[in-house]
Amino acid sequence: MIAITHANVFDGLNDSYLENVSVVIEDDHVLEITEKDVSEGNFERVIDAGGKTVIPGLVDSHVHLMFGDGRLDELTVHGVRNARNFLYAGFTTVRDAGGAVYGIKKGIDEGVIEGPRIFPSYSFISQTCGHGDFRESRGAARIADHIYTSPNLMNGQSYIADGVPEVLKAVREQLFMGASQIKIMAGGGLSSQYDPVQTQQYTLEEMKAAVSAASDYGTYVMAHLYTTESIKRALKAGVKSFEHAHLLDDEAARIAQAQDVFIVPCPNFKHPPKKTDKPDDAVDEKKPGSGNMYKDIARKALFAGVEIQAELINKYDLNIAYGTDFIERFSKGIVRTDDLVSYAKRFGNYRALRSATGDAGRLSAFTTYQNPYPEGKIGVLEGGAFADLLIVDGDPLKDISVLTDPENIRLIMKGGKIYKDI
């Protein structure tokens, strides 16, 4: 057993600290948090926090540890590094929003490599000419069902499915792999070739099929989308987790509140769009059908949208979870904890911290018996929770930016094992 004494504990849910308490850890779980004196003779180790802050291990609810261009073996090497970097940045759990993470998750869970707990989606499910159709050009062929010349489609990062029967099969294939939740592409994006942001993807019937198949296995659907129309269609279909959703409007926000869904804003648009002379960013209204059409217009709309989105989230007190949309080709393995500051600017320090702890734990509970870690709670510090925690210099409830400096994270523990010692 381990005891952490003289700690100020943020439990992941409440907006104040449990002051000068002890966290008692048995094996990989928190046994109790107590104000009683702790006798050193009863423990293998007693760690004196010295009045420092103890918080649950952080949770990033939207990452892609294994998404990128290249061969699967190459991606795996980067994925191993990415997983380790997340753990040593203080993230003891991530929800992978699409990618071939089976081997990495298995390696982490078996103790072969270091990394956070992973709630995997495995392949994200996309329609043809959707946000997950990664054919690099119109010359990239579909040779046969699920056999492509595109490596991104062949290595299991994405699964193309059209029509209700194919969507049902795609969902069930990911569940067979052990997906804890299902990821669908319900709208266009900026990073893909042939689906502008404004496009709506998947019909209501197709979305309902995905939700139904996931629900039959006790879990839920998360959907990539931006536009108001896509958000409303996904709400009608029963989607539970809305990724990005930057163009949320008042009507959709009211429905989201009534349905108790989660928004994962991933505030990627922290700065106004910059002028660029890159041809991919050029606005050309005379080229209908171009995948690069309106990208500048879309960026400006999304940048404006995140501010309105934040107002609506605060107005209706919508559920949010912290997510960075970490992608290897953009991040080069660097875990951007400064997105916590972006969340705090929009939602306040307390809600930002809760979105990366207790509220992320509430989102993970939607997986019910598909939860890969059913033995304990994540995102909270209480009896019965996993012993996933950080000892931190500073007060993140007053200034969450203290978590962006690795030097301030003095101890990292996952499942009772210490990875960074005080």
Average the pLDDT over each of 328-337, 374-383, 389-398 and give the range with the smallest value.
Answer: 328-337
Same-domain status, 194 and 239: yes
Mean pLDDT across the stretch 162-174? 97
Q: Is residue 271 part of a domain?
A: no
Q: Are residues 104 and 234 in the same domain?
A: yes
User: Which range is most confident: 55-59, 298-302, 306-310?
Assistant: 55-59
Is residue 80 included in any domain, yes or no? yes
Is there a single domain that holds both residue 119 and residue 9? Answer: no
Same domain assignment for residues 385 and 241: no
8 A C-beta contact, residue 412 and residue 404: no
Domain membership of residue 106 (yes or no) is: yes
Q: What is the pLDDT of residue 139?
A: 59
25 and 159, same domain (yes or no): no
Q: Is residue 277 part of a domain?
A: no
Count of domains observed in the chain: 2
Residues 98 and 214 both lie in one domain: yes
Supply the pLDDT for residue 276.
Answer: 45
Percent of all residues in the chain with a pLDDT value above 70, rounded to a whole number = 87
CATH code of 51's domain: 2.30.40.10
Query: What is the value of pTM for the model shown?
Result: 0.92
* Together in a domain, 239 and 139: yes
Q: Is residue 145 part of a domain?
A: yes
Domain that holds residue 12: 2-55+381-420
Q: In this model, does residue 380 exceed pLDDT 60?
A: yes
- Do 347 and 221 lie in one domain? The reply is yes
Query: Is the residue at 239 inside a domain?
Result: yes
Q: Are residues 393 and 324 in the same domain?
A: no
250-259 and 228-237 helices, crossing angle to 10°: 20
Residue 6 Cα to chain centre, angstroms = 32
- pLDDT confidence bin for 163, thresholds 50/70/90: very high
Pick the residue with more confidence: 267 or 231?
231
223 & 156 share domain:
yes
pLDDT, position 70: 73
Answer whether residue 301 is part of any domain.
no
330 and 404 together in one domain? no
CATH number of 314's domain = 3.20.20.140
Q: Is residue 63 part of a domain?
A: yes
Q: Does residue 151 register a pLDDT over 80? A: no
Do both 350 and 399 map to the same domain? Answer: no
